[in-house]
Chains A and B, each alone.
Chain A
Amino acid sequence: MTLIDKLAYSSKLAHVKAGSKLLAALVVMSICLAFGSPAVSATTIVLMSAATLFMGGCRLKRYAKLMLVPMAFVATGVLTIIVCRLGPGDSSLFSFRLPGADYGVTASSLYMGARVMLKALGAVTCLYFFSLNTPMNSFLSLLRRRFPGVLAELMELMYRFIFIIWDEAGRIRTAQASRLGYGGFSDSLRSLGELAAVVFIRAFRRADRIGLALESRGFEGNFEYLCETESSSPGLTALTALSAAALAAVGTLERALK
Chain B
Amino acid sequence: MNIIEVRNLCYSYEDGEPALDNINLDIAKGKTTAVLGGNGAGKSTLFLNLNGVLKPKSGSVYFEGREIKYSKKELLELRRKIGIVFQDPDDQLFSASVIKDVSFGLMKLGLELDEIRARIDAVVGQTGIESVMDKPTHALSFGQKKRVAIAGVLVMRPEVIILDEPTAGLDPQGVSEILGLLCDIREKTGVTVLISTHDIDLVPLYCDEAVVLDKGKVVFSGLPGRLFSRPELLREHNLRLPRINHLMNILHDRDGLAVDTTAATISQARRSIVNLVKSGGR
B105 close to A212 (CB less than 8 A): no
A216 close to B95 (CB less than 8 A): no
Among B94, B95, B134, the most chain A Cβ lie within 10 Å of the Cβ of: B94
B152 close to A5 (CB less than 8 A): no
The contact of B137 among A140, A160, A223, by CB within 8 Å, is A160
A225 close to B107 (CB less than 8 A): yes
B138 close to A163 (CB less than 8 A): yes
Stretch in B76-84, B222-230, B264-272 with 4+ CB within 8 Å of A = B76-84
Contacts of A220 in B (CB 8 A): 76, 108
Contact with A along B106-119 (1 / 0, CB 8 A): 11100000001100
Question: Which secondary structure dominates where chain A touches chain B?
Answer: helix
Is B62 interfacial (CB-CB < 8 Å)?
A: no
B103 close to A136 (CB less than 8 A): no
B104 close to A223 (CB less than 8 A): yes
| Contact A228-B96, Cβ < 8 Å, known A136-B136, A210-B91, A216-B48 | no
What number of residue pairs across chains A and B have CB atoms under 8 A from each other? 103
Contacts of B91 in A (CB 8 A): 206, 209-210, 212-213
Is A224 interfacial (CB-CB < 8 Å)?
A: yes
B103 close to A228 (CB less than 8 A): no
Question: Which secondary structure dominates where chain B touches chain A?
Answer: helix
Is A9 interfacial (CB-CB < 8 Å)?
A: yes
Distance, CA A212 to CA B53, complexed state (A): 7
Sample of 11 A–B contacts (CB below 8 Å): A15-B134, A136-B96, A137-B136, A140-B96, A160-B94, A164-B90, A209-B86, A209-B91, A210-B92, A212-B86, A226-B116
A213 close to B139 (CB less than 8 A): no
Contacts of A97 in B (CB 8 A): none
| Contact A215-B53, Cβ < 8 Å, known A135-B136, A156-B96, A228-B97 | yes
Please tell me the size bucket of the interface on B: 35 or more
A226 close to B86 (CB less than 8 A): no
Contacts of B103 in A (CB 8 A): 225-226
Task: Report A100 CB to chain B, min CB distance, Å.
Answer: 56
Is B195 interfacial (CB-CB < 8 Å)?
A: no
Q: How many residues of A contact B (CB 8 A)?
A: 33
Contact with A along B226-256 (1 / 0, CB 8 A): 0000000000000000000000000000000
Distance, CA A209 to CA B88, complexed state (A): 9
Contacts of B48 in A (CB 8 A): 212, 216
Is B7 interfacial (CB-CB < 8 Å)?
A: no
Is A184 interfacial (CB-CB < 8 Å)?
A: no
A218 close to B135 (CB less than 8 A): no
Is A214 interfacial (CB-CB < 8 Å)?
A: yes
| Contact A216-B96, Cβ < 8 Å, known A160-B137, A163-B138, A209-B86 | no
**Besides A136-B96, A225-B107, A226-B99, 15 new A-B residue pairs in contact (Cβ under 8 A), listed by A number:** A5-B136, A156-B96, A160-B94, A209-B86, A210-B91, A215-B53, A215-B79, A216-B53, A217-B104, A218-B105, A220-B76, A223-B95, A227-B99, A227-B100, A228-B99
